[in-house]
Amino acid sequence: LGVVPMVRDLQVQEEDGMSLERERLHASKGQLTAAVIRLPRISNFDDFDPLVRAGVSVRYVQDPAEVRSAHIVLIPGTKHTIADLRWMKSRGLDTAIRDAAHHGVTVIGICGGYQMLGTKLDDPDGADGGEPDHEEGLGLLPISTIFRDEKVTRRVRFRVTTPNTKFALRGNTVGTGYEIHTGETTVSRQGEASPMLEIDRGDGVPVADGTVSATGNVAGCYVHGLFDAPNVLEPLLRTVAEHNGIEPPQVKPFSMDAEYDRLADVVRSSLDMDAVYRMINVRR
């Protein structure tokens, strides 16, 4: 049928866990660094690809010392939130993350990472890990999560609602993303935080999602793909860089659709597509 060649610098989404070693970059002097906690059951880590494309030194870390030296700390999604939270505690990463937050470092959790930032996680029916369970969270956001059997999977549109803070989100910034999680998260102490986003799940009824701490440097939400929006990523990186006396990274236009089109063009030009279509019984 033909041979598909290596496509250099192709920036399509990776399979889970396949390419994390490639992302273990080492920061150079004067470069903005982000430490992504390398959870054992990490998922959806392509959330942070836009930071790599912008020139941020993104490191996937398991050492508390690497957390303390980063300008941004990111807690990703996970296939088993409570188990990975306990793993973090066993390595002292929980203490390192809290110390970083208390020293003004920007800490952001997405999905399971967002749940970990709260005060407690309850799993009465074993929806997260198979058996009823409970664990105290990092306590950096006044939220609590209870896991349910139903898994949420849907695309959403979001609008930033939080005022300008150290997190540097611009109010009324809009974008698209998706939810894929179990668990319902609620704010347990009103007045100590503000909603981060307003999301539309396709029914035209906006609902609040995510939380920003009163200090403004700790935030989290359920929306994957948040950083794909340049008007979310650019002010975040610029604010953190300026706070640390570093030249801000440049967020350039990027289209994932264009990358997949480029791959499709290479495949189409390399294979006998008429034969492929005959094999799968598709008429052109």
Task: Indicate which residues carry an active-site annotation.
Answer: 111, 224
- Other CB atoms within 10 Å distance of the CB of residue 282: 8
The string of DSSP letters for 4-17 reads PPP-TT--PPPPTT
CB 137 within 8 A of CB 131: no
CB 55 within 8 A of CB 34: no
In order of 67, 78, 251, the CA distances from 197 in angstroms are 26, 21, 22
Distance CA 270, CA 114 (A): 44
Distance CA 232, CA 54 (A): 13
**Of the candidates 222, 216, 265, 256, the residue with the CA atom closest to the CA atom of residue 239:** 216
- Tokens representing 123 are 């799993």
The string of DSSP letters for 207-267 reads EEEEEEETTSSEEEES-BTGGGSHHHHHHHHHHHHHHTT-PPPP-----HHHHHHHHHHHH
- Tokens representing 224 are 């994957």
- Other CB atoms within 10 Å distance of the CB of residue 247: 12
**Of the candidates 116, 119, 121, the residue with the CA atom closest to the CA atom of residue 97:** 116
